[in-house]
A = this chain, B = another copy of it.
Amino acid sequence: MTKKKKNAKKPAPERRASEEKATRQEEAAAAKPKPGKKGSVALETAESMARKQREISVSEFFLKNRHLLGFDSPRRALMTTVKEAVDNALDACEEAGHLPEISVDIAQTAENRFRVTVTDNGPGIVRSQIPKVFAKLLYGSKFHRLRMSRGQQGIGISAAGMYGQLTTGTSTHILSRSRNQKMAHDIAVQIDTKANTPTIISDDERAWCPEFFPTQPDGKPGKPISYAHGTSVSIEMEATYVRGRLSVDEYLKQCAIVNPHLQLHYRVRLMRSDDKDEKGPKTLPADETTPWISYFRGVNEMPPPTREIKPHPHGVELGMLMAMLKDTNSRTLQGALSQDFSRVSSKTAKEICERAKLYPNARPARIAHQESEALYKAINETSLMRPPTDCLAPIGEEQIVSGLKKEIQADFYTAKTRNPAVYRGNPFQIEAGLAYAKPGENEDLNAEEPVRLMRFANRVPLLAMSGACAMTKSTTGVNWKAYGLSQPRGSLPFGPMVVMIHIASVWVPFTSESKEAIAHYPEIMREITFALQDCGRQLSHYLSRKRRADEAARKRNFIELYIPHLALGLKEILDLNDRQEKTVVNKLGGMLERTHLDV
């Protein structure tokens, strides 16, 4: 006690030094080094190492590596959470055939804390699935199928909940009601990160209809809209809210552009003080007083529905083929080939068997063990139709141009939708669009700066990690000088222009689990390049037309300058009067008007 007092009297730095020494000693004593050759760190043997080997749960892994999921900073955490929730809502609405109506409500709860609530009019989720869908990583319906959708991994929304839980200790709250339920489920879950399993914190039923609050075009609040079914998810987390290119605002704006069938209501409520100088205690403004920003539906039709496909034989590796033959429900090789793969009719299957010198009636599991290499070779030597493409729903050239027109004020627009192509057996389709403003016409687009690149995958805007994306790489790889733009070596072209690229695929290969950048598959980069070159050629026509027109105007101005002098000369030579001189000027001017100057 005496010592403590003595310490307390010492000036701060010294006190800390003596305490540091004590801490160090205590730690050294706790470490208790085992005998070993080198210093005090124990050396390992095969046996001591074996005792330390442990399984790592996937949730522990991603908790420690949460930057892989897009939770590396409080700012990005907010964006990723909104993105995952909105993507899920859109997918659910589209699969159930409901025109999506979604609200995003962001409310500040403390200095660095926000609550994100996303509500949709989707089909709802049955009670038994709610805990796993929202509090188990790698769980979902989209991973095991080949069909175009926004979500594909079964990680996103559970990861957002896990991040909220990690930073604030709170639970993910879900409200969900399906069409034939009277009451909604009101469930709170957390994730047991050691086991990657959901823990149910509370489980109630209550009356609830998803409600949306549109703002009328004149800014006044409209009548609230409510639906008989839907889901609402609410997560509180450490986050910061900022505006700008990588913000929630920008994400939702771009989301509305590429999803014209989406109706979206959005608001951010920041804590503020009632005093004018913001000195008093800060509180959240009342619910009713904060207006919503509404993005209204542009079209009343859903995008064309997409079909699930089976894997294409030419994209299947030997090891995968063996696994598929082992697991097939078919009793014969011929049956397995024609039922489990796309583009293999029973006739083609027979042809493949013959080529591989195998009996069409052989047991698939036996082939998997013994003759799979011959079969694999035969499959790859057989010419097959390309994979079906009704699994893809591109945006379309017209929609891209009208989306760009709505968003970007410019002088020239063009778009190109490529035919579907294939990487590793997966069909994909690339679309690109350009909007070019006359220099000075659009103050957001500076002619002296790199063009603005907007990236989309399966109708989801990609904002972060632009540098790691195949779309950026392909855009810098195109020779834009050939189309009339300046371009420093290895850089994006410069100019008052927006470039938009979209990939639609049954499996988009992202460079990380946060799904913000496309991996550098050569097939994909080639298609992007072709789409951009097509747009570039259109741009080049526009620019050279524009240049010709500018040149003609310049020449005309030049000649116009001389007309009075010419008239004066004629007046002196021919001894004309002033009226006649004026007539000459007018006539020459008229001639110039009529002439299409050939530049």
Binding site for B on A (CB under 8 A): 16, 19-20, 22-23, 26-27, 30-31, 36-41, 43-47, 49-50, 52-58, 60-61, 64-65, 67-68, 72, 92, 95-97, 123-126, 128-129, 132-133, 136, 138-141, 143-145, 153-154, 165-169, 176, 178-179, 193, 229, 238, 302, 304-307, 317-320, 322-323, 338-339, 342-348, 372-373, 383, 385, 388, 465, 467-468, 488, 490-491, 507, 509-513, 519-521
Cα(A124)–Cα(B344), bound, Å: 48
Residue contact A36 to B97, C-beta cutoff 8 Å: yes
Shortest 3 CB-CB contacts between residues of A and residues of B: A46-B178, A166-B319, A41-B305
Residue contact A141 to B304, C-beta cutoff 8 Å: no
CB distance from A515 to the nearest CB of B (A): 11
Contacts of A23 in B (CB 8 A): 343-345, 348, 385
Residue contact B97 to A43, C-beta cutoff 8 Å: yes
Q: A27-B342, A45-B96 are in contact. List 8 more A-B contacts (CB 8 A).
A: A16-B383, A23-B344, A31-B307, A45-B178, A49-B129, A50-B125, A54-B140, A169-B373
Residue contact B511 to A468, C-beta cutoff 8 Å: yes
Cα(A179)–Cα(B97), bound, Å: 66
Whose C-beta in chain B lies nearest to the C-beta of A321?
A: B169
Residue contact A347 to B467, C-beta cutoff 8 Å: no
Cα(A573)–Cα(B582), bound, Å: 81
A-B contacts, 26 of them at CB < 8 A, read A22-B345, A23-B344, A23-B348, A27-B388, A31-B307, A38-B305, A41-B305, A41-B306, A41-B307, A43-B95, A44-B97, A45-B179, A49-B92, A49-B141, A53-B140, A54-B143, A55-B136, A57-B138, A64-B507, A68-B511, A166-B318, A169-B372, A169-B373, A193-B323, A467-B467, A511-B511
Cα(A22)–Cα(B513), bound, Å: 40
CB distance from A118 to the nearest CB of B (A): 17
Contacts of A519 in B (CB 8 A): 67, 72
Contacts of A139 in B (CB 8 A): 53-56
Contacts of A179 in B (CB 8 A): 45-46
Whose C-beta in chain B lies nearest to the C-beta of A4?
A: B347
Residue contact A56 to B166, C-beta cutoff 8 Å: no
- Known contacts A385-B23, A488-B488; A318 and B167 CB within 8 A of each other: yes
- Known contacts A54-B143, A72-B519; A178 and B41 CB within 8 A of each other: no
Residue contact A44 to B319, C-beta cutoff 8 Å: no
Cα(A383)–Cα(B19), bound, Å: 11
Residue contact A60 to B143, C-beta cutoff 8 Å: yes
Residue contact B512 to A22, C-beta cutoff 8 Å: no
Cα(A179)–Cα(B47), bound, Å: 10
Q: Which of B27, B61, B136, B488 contacts A153 (CB 8 A)?
A: B61
